[in-house]
Amino acid sequence: MRVRPDPMAISIRRPRQAATALGLALACASAAPAKPPAMLDAGTEGGYAFTIEAKSVVRDGDRVRFRLLAANESGADHYESSIEVDCAHRTRRQLTAIADDGSGHVRTYGAERASPHPISQGTRADREMRLMCTHVGAQAAEPPHLPASASELADAGTDAGGARAIFIDTVRRHDASVDYMLQTIAPGQRYAMRQHVAGDCERKLRGVMQEADAPAGSKVWVSRVTATSREGRELEAACALPEGPPSRWFAGFVVTPDGVVIAPHERTLGCAAIVTGAGAARRTLDLIANEDDMTLLRVHGGGRWPVLPAIVKPMANGPQPVTVLGVHGTEPRVSAAFAEPTGANVNDAGWPQVRMLAVRAQPAGLVWDWTGSAVGIALALGRPVSSGDQAWVRMLPAQEVQRRLERHQLAWRPADETSLDPEQAMRRALASTLPLLCLDKAAER
């Protein structure tokens, strides 16, 4: 007689922030009802600010239609379009549009641009879709995930359903309970699926959570596993792993002698503090401003900082050989690459790209050319996009970085008339690339 696994519920216990929640509840209770905004902020891209007319938003099943407005910084160049996004299939299409360049030239567009196209992860269109789906109460589908690198994973076995691995940094535990993110790659598939798994190390219980961000105290229905099953070996591996680190390293790039630093916005999220150096040389960075894809910081103290000067002018047409320097852990990492103009990567068509060998691809790096001057900064939104042995990372040209700095009365030092030789350029790039450490609240205390 076969014995059925006995399902039971276990509690995924996470720290509660009672004081913060109470303060928020009191503030909400005492505040006057807020008037809904007439316009919704839809982000910025390529020098344009995008807004959505709130009253135009209409839901039709999984699809949402709305009126999108775009204007450049001067306000002279306007673009008005009717957009439809599909929350379930992550597609977007432009139904109609009117473009006015502010000098009397007006163009209209219709069905010729109405074909649905996929929405790439981390783009402005991705954030726009999530905003609209949330606004109407729909669930935006998650994008397909590329497999993580082996250094991020612990093997969790393979069966008919595919190869499994645990994301090392996601392991969290409380007493005998453990939860973690699991990657699964089905046979013959390029993309990976991610699941949030919870288990009990003592009672040998395991269950998959329906939502990745379950609230504290929520319960998950689980089954008992045996030591010889794949699930049992996975749970044993998870229970043996240390809890994920409370800190992470990433690269920042000094652009002014008084210590203004550019860093990937995604890597600065959720940090209680960002520091560089160690011991007596350790310094804290103060926030200047957040952008969609980059964060401006300033190193607290330290005198004049070395800067790799920048060529602040439009990029040359066609591929341009460059060098990229970032950090891998706390160590510098150099990659040979090509800077390519807008359109080189169809998944991020609105921006120039840095193309590298996939095995040497870096999520962030200072980019300089044969003259020894910086031509931009590579900043990936998520993981570098790979195809075969090549990988592409979005590049903010020095001209674009300079434009954003000017909003805060700052400037990237222009290139010298005399070119730096390769060794000088490498030394300057190394000196102006900082390993930054993101501290969470526990580490900061």
Strands (E), 300-347: 320-328, 331-340
67: CATH: 2.40.128.710
pLDDT tens for 100-147 read 877 778 888 776 667 888 887 667 888 899 999 999 999 888 777 778
Establish if 70 belongs to a structural domain: yes
Sign of CA dihedral 337, 341, 346, 349: positive
Higher pLDDT, 32 or 59: 59
Residue 178: Cβ within 10 Å count: 22
Assess whether 296 and 403 both reside in one domain.
yes
Concatenated DSSP letters for 199-233?
A: EETTTTEEEEESSSSPPTT-EEEEEE--TTSHHHH
Provide the percentage of residues in the chain whose pLDDT is more than 70.
84
Q: Are residues 429 and 404 part of one domain?
A: yes
Residue 27 has pLDDT above 50, yes or no: no
Asked if 182 and 329 sit in the same domain, the reply is no
Q: What is the CATH number of the domain that holds 394?
A: 2.40.10.120
Domain boundary among 101, 135, 169: 135
Is 235's pLDDT higher than 90? yes
Cα 286 from chain centroid (whole Å): 21
The band of 330, judged by pLDDT with boundaries at 50, 70 and 90, is low
Residue 168 lies in a domain: yes
Please check whether residue 178 lies inside any domain of the structure.
Answer: yes
| Range with lowest mean pLDDT among 52-56, 170-174, 296-300 | 170-174
Q: What percent of the chain has pLDDT over 90?
A: 34
Q: Are 177 and 199 in contact (CB under 8 A)?
A: yes
Alpha helix positions (H), 31-120: none
- 439 within 8 A of 272, measured Cβ to Cβ: yes
Mark which of 201, 223, 240 sits at the end of a domain.
240
Q: Extract the tokens encoding 394.
A: 């979005």
Give domain status of residue 8, yes or no: no
* 228/333 same-domain check: no
Q: pLDDT tens for residues 380-400?
A: 876 777 778 888 999 999 999
pLDDT of 313 above 50: yes
Residue 18 belongs to some domain of the structure: no
Q: From its phi and psi, is residue 202 left (phi > 0), alpha (psi between -120 and 50) or beta?
A: alpha
pLDDT at residue 161 tops 90: no
Quote the mean pLDDT of the chain. Answer: 81
The pTM of this model reads: 0.49
**Percent helix, percent strand, percent coil in the chain, to nearest 5:** 20, 40, 40
Residues 325, 394 within the same domain = yes
Tell me the residue range of the domain where 67 lies: 39-135
Number of domains in the chain: 3
Q: How large is the greatest C-alpha to C-alpha distance in the chain, in angstroms?
A: 85
Q: What local confidence, expressed as pLDDT, does residue 438 receive?
A: 86
Burial (Cβ within 10 Å: 0-12, 13-18, ≥19) of residue 388: exposed
Same domain, yes or no: 371 and 278: yes
Q: Based on the domain organization, do 233 and 252 belong to the same domain?
A: no
